Amino acid sequence: MSVRNPRGPMREGEDVIIVDPKGEEKMLVLKAGKVHGTHKGNLSHDDIIGKADAGRAWTQMGAEYRYFRPTYIQYVMNQKRHAQIIYPKDTGPIMLWADIFPGASVVEAGIGWGALSVKLLETIGPDGTLVTYEIREDFAESGANTVTRFLGECPNHTVKVGDIYQGIAERDVDRIVLDLPEPWHVVPHAALSLAPGGIILVYLPSTMQVKQFVDAVDAHGGFTEAETFEVIHRPWHVKGMSVRPVQWMFSHSAFLVCCRKLS
């Protein structure tokens, strides 16, 4: 059952986010008759199934939990993952700087856990197309599963098992988004694949990768308007008289580099 399902009562088989009294989240699949054991007693799934979204439920020891249908952020942040995902703080800016729009044709690589693919598909909508290259067959399968579990079947999503460094078959593509270690190998293929004015955006953890990619783009000559930045997300703690930045924050994920294809 996909997460992006219609409104209405919580149903058996759905993913649900449980928030404990300290604010810690956990994602479960609702199953009739099942209980979720906590250190504050058992929470019965039957107390959630059939109830409206975003409610409260109590353990038999009286501890209050809250439950929600997962948002995109809750879905991607509360999973066991086999690959590093693109974090939500970067996903939003990727959609803007790559200028992903409803109806766009997009090529992506690789799928990894599938976090970015989900948001690309939501943003392009049913009139767009997404082709995702992934070199590992097992990741192609599990990434596709992440997508369908959240969105349901997506006939406009094709996952191709293959090495994007060897080429891109698609032509007249609006956008290319890459999250893999050596995107400079893709520059000549992107030049053939992108429509004039198309955008390539790459996600790179280290400065040396950024330099190598920008050098490759400059040497190719078919791209312009290169822009590089990182996104700093600084959460605040707001409780009573304590209004300040949190003490620990996630300081670095990756740099975003984007540029446009010249005609």
Interface residue list for ligand SAM (CB under 6 A)? 83-86, 109-116, 133-136, 139, 163-165, 179-180
Residues 108/116, Cβ–Cβ less than 8 Å:
yes
Is residue 47 helix, strand or coil? helix
Instruction: Tell the smallest beta-carbon distance from residue 7 to ligand SAM (Å).
Output: 27
58 vs 87, beta carbon nearer ligand SAM: 87
Cα separation, 248 vs 47, in Å, equals: 36
Q: Letter for the amino acid at 202? A: V
Residue that the structure tokens 């044709």 belong to: 105
Q: Which is nearer to ligand SAM, 19 or 77 (CB)?
A: 77
Minimum distance of ligand SAM from residue 177's CB (angstroms): 8
Tokens 């078959």, located at residue: 169
Distance CA 216, CA 185 (A): 8
Say how many C-beta atoms besides its own lie within 10 A of residue 211's C-beta: 13
Greatest Cα pair distance, the chain, in angstroms, is 67
Least Å from the CB of residue 35 to ligand SAM: 32
Tokens of 147: 């997508």
- Compute the least distance from the CB of residue 180 to ligand SAM, in Å: 4
If you ran DSSP here, which 8-state letter would residue 46 be given? G
Instruction: Give 122 or 179: the residue with its C-beta nearer to ligand SAM.
Output: 179
Three-state secondary structure of 57-112 = EECCCCCEEEEECCCHHHHHHCCCCCCCCCCHHHHHHHHHHCCCCCCCEEEEECCC
Task: Answer for the pair 74, 160: CB distance below 8 angstroms, yes or no.
Answer: no
Give least dist CB 105 to ligand SAM, A.
Answer: 18
Q: Which is nearer to ligand SAM, 18 or 116 (CB)?
A: 116
Nearer to ligand SAM, 48 or 199 (CB): 199
Q: What is the DSSP letter of 125?
A: -
Please, what is the minimum distance in Å from the beta carbon of residue 120 to ligand SAM? 9
CB of 205 or CB of 222, closer to ligand SAM: 205
